[in-house]
Amino acid sequence: MQICQELSLPSMGCGTWAWGNRLLWGYDESMDAQLQAVFNLCVSNGVTLFDTGDSYGTGRLNGRSESLLGRFSREYLGSGKENICIATKLAAYPWRWTRQSMVSACKSSAKRLGKNVDLVQMHWSTANYAPWQEKGLLDGLADLYEQGLVKGVGLSNYGPKRLKRVHQRFAERGVPIATLQVQYSLLSTYPVTELEVKDVCDQLGIKLIAYSPLALGLLTGKYSEKGPFPKGIRGLLFRQMLPGIRPLLASLREVAQSRNKTMSQVSINWCICKGAIPIPGAKSMEQAKENIGALGWELNSGEIAELDQAAASADKKMVQNIFQTR
């Protein structure tokens, strides 16, 4: 856990992808006070890792997620302030392909945050569609660490083969990889059970971060096959998924009731028990309180085995990120 201690990574982070994507649809400044309250509640309860990205909040709201996080961090005056760790992901845009473009992108993020980025991450690998682009981006990521502009570097959506190659390349420059983000939940075990990326991370001393630990809300128990469903593509996904995950949701509900916890809290705690740092989204006080309720206790081995079996036998799984490499 040495790397996590150096970067002040807690057992659970707060995924600001929810702030950057969902929240900023129809965003207005009247929401700022609510978001500040969510941030304050998280930090005061020991949740001090906040994950965002420079692509969260585009167009008119370009970089808004980073700007908000920076402001909230500066204005927070409670306990745990010194432990706040802001991680951002730099997008592999088509026009971003030189090492200097990555350095410039990180400096822009730092300007929006009002401080240097603590943990900078490659948002996705270009190996699946433009492998020639990746060299410059990775060189720039390592440059940021060497120049002392960040405390640590990480990757996102990398499989074990690519991860090993990048790790070796960075090791030759004396640059450690602190974290790896993958889509990981009871409905998305593929990166761990099939790609075995967690085993590689453990071998290399890399901490695994689990994004979408609630599978876009499917694991919260708040939706039924009869509806109502979320709007848009998410609603179509839920209609397709819910009938096939009925046994898993039943197991989740049973464990949650026996623990006097919610299904969301059990799902998040399962990720923690698997050795990952889950980063559930939170844009309201209710969501933040529910996420915090996943801390301070652990599922026992029997409960984990029951959930593992239910997840393995589910007829439906979450679609993997198209950028996930092997």
**What are the pLDDT digits (tens) for 74-129?**
999 999 999 999 999 999 999 999 999 999 999 999 999 999 999 999 999 999 99
Q: Which residue among 27, 56, 184, 211 is the active-site one?
A: 56
Which residues are registered as beta bridge partners of 277?
209
Q: Is the pTM of this model over 0.95?
A: no
| Domains of the chain in sequence order | 2-218+275-283 (3.20.20.100)
Question: What's the confidence (pLDDT) of residue 16?
Answer: 46
Region label for 28, one of left (φ > 0), alpha (ψ between -120 and 50) or beta (otherwise): beta
The predicted-structure confidence for 122-179, as pLDDT tens digits, reads as follows: 999 999 999 999 999 999 999 999 999 999 999 999 999 999 999 999 999 999 999 9
Please indicate whether residue 76 is annotated as part of the active site: no
As a whole number of angstroms, the distance between CA 45 and CA 154 comes to 25
pLDDT at 2 over 80: no
Question: What's the confidence (pLDDT) of residue 22?
Answer: 37
Residue 183 exposed, middle or buried by CB count within 10 Å (0-12, 13-18, 19+): buried
Region label for 84, one of left (φ > 0), alpha (ψ between -120 and 50) or beta (otherwise): beta
pLDDT at 25 over 80: no
Name the pLDDT band for 20 (thresholds 50, 70, 90).
very low
pLDDT at 4 over 80: no
